[in-house]
Amino acid sequence: MTSLLITNGHLATLDDANNFVENGSVFIDGDQIVAVGDLDTDSCATDRRIDAGGKLVMPGLINAHHHLYSTFARGFTPPGPPARNFEQNLKNLWWKLDAALDSEDVYYSALLALMDAARAGCTTVIDHHASPSCCDGSLDQVERAFRDVGLSGCLCYEVSDRNKDGEGIEENERYIRKCRDSSDKQMSALFGLHASMTLGDKTLQRCAAAAESLGAGFHVHVAEDQIDVQTTMERHGKNVMERFADFGIPGSKTIFVHGTCLSRAEMDLLHSTDSILVNNPESNMNNGLGVSPILEMLEHGVTVGVGTDGISSHLISQARAMYLHQRAEHRDPTLAFAEACEILLRNNSGICNRLFDEPRGALAAGQLADVVIHDYVPFTPLNAETFYGHLMFGVGFSRVATTIARGRVVVEDGQLPDLDEAAIRARCAERAPGIWARIN
């Protein structure tokens, strides 16, 4: 156990009192924050000190939905004519990519994306994984990457019937048990499902029974596109959330992702079951999908989070895209700014704190020591009234100088000191052509 003292920071605590402290300090002992604020730093006995130099210091960000396995898609063009709709995009690219990955590909795709996440000030990632050619043990490879970078993760495997019935059920069960039985709280687990349109009733029943026996929540795509809505209605005579509710999938530890095509009744169901809905605006725009009705969801009392959905690991840009997306949809320049910031900074930490035992998301005593120093010195007043403006129009474009995850310095002066990044990137450059060839 080592101790660390950050001094001379412009602190955005994001605690219950929403304190902002100029020339503030954060004292860390092991993996916990011990004290925050105007501290007597001369009397603090510590193993290491970091002078923030007046830069912005805030809690590490949380990604509520990622696909780390998508990393090797960067720059790749699927064979054949361009996908004209969401279903073709799944079949022509993503389902071919995940099937092309071997065990080491899974590790390196997660490793690269998590390195990017750490460099963007993200310290916890909730991931949704698929690799049909190496399903068994694949979550251990993803975990290996988390431990090498030093971030916290909540993992699941995407069950669907698209390759074989119930593929991934056993991997979810195994990994959930592993996390449940471990005294190490760095990793946690959910029961992963793809979407209603790729899950038969027998598979859903098996998943529901397994998750109930393990006390686990779910992580599942819902109504991302009309194809999911239409297929579910044609095959089962119900809307998507109705069908999931029949199997007991909703709940306070269940994450539904996207919700682009949800009805008001389905939003009410999300609220009544205390379920989570995670929006991924850049991914939705990239796929040519509709705008998720997040303002309506908030009005219905739904807990809304934000994720990156594999398109990047940069979270502030997602919150920025979220409010711009809503303003363009509604043709109203007054909408969604504060809501997007609250979703990123407050809701994501609340979601995370449902899934992990260690509280995080604030600079406060007793919180997990996830702290980020942005290379950003404010030149206009920074306080509770102005912080969101700084976040969206300044912090999001600045470099992260230091990322501390679980009390460990994982990014220092923009670099990852514990990893040979050049060797990792060279190894990935060697592997990528093989993956692309298998897709083709």
Name the least confident of 28-37, 81-90, 267-276, 393-402.
81-90
Are 71 and 125 in contact by the 8 Å Cβ rule? The answer is no
- Domain 61-355 fold is TIM Barrel (3.20.20)
Q: Between these two residues, 43 and 264, which has the higher pLDDT value? A: 264
- So where are the chain's domains? 3-60+358-412, 61-355
pLDDT, one tens digit per residue, over 396-439 is 999 999 999 999 999 999 999 999 999 999 999 999 999 999 99
pLDDT-derived band at 268 (thresholds 50, 70, 90) equals very high
113 pLDDT higher than 70: yes
Question: 213 CB contacts (<8 Å, ≥6 apart)?
Answer: none
**pLDDT of amino acid 44:** 82
**pLDDT of amino acid 80:** 85
pTM, full prediction: 0.97
Q: Between these two residues, 198 and 40, which has the higher pLDDT value? A: 198
Are 365 and 293 in contact by the 8 Å Cβ rule? The answer is no
For the domain bounded by 3-60+358-412, which CATH number is listed? 2.30.40.10
Written as one letter, the residue type at 289 is L
Q: Between these two residues, 175 and 82, which has the higher pLDDT value? A: 175
**pLDDT of amino acid 364:** 98
90 pLDDT higher than 90: yes
117 pLDDT higher than 90: yes
Question: Cα–Cα distance between 94 and 400 in angstroms, integer?
Answer: 31
pLDDT, one tens digit per residue, over 182-192 is 999 999 999 99
pLDDT-derived band at 1 (thresholds 50, 70, 90) equals low
**pLDDT of amino acid 440:** 83
pLDDT-derived band at 63 (thresholds 50, 70, 90) equals very high
* Mean pLDDT computed over 194-205: 98
pLDDT, one tens digit per residue, over 328-386 is 999 999 999 999 999 999 999 999 999 999 999 999 999 999 999 999 999 999 999 99
* Mean pLDDT computed over 273-298: 96
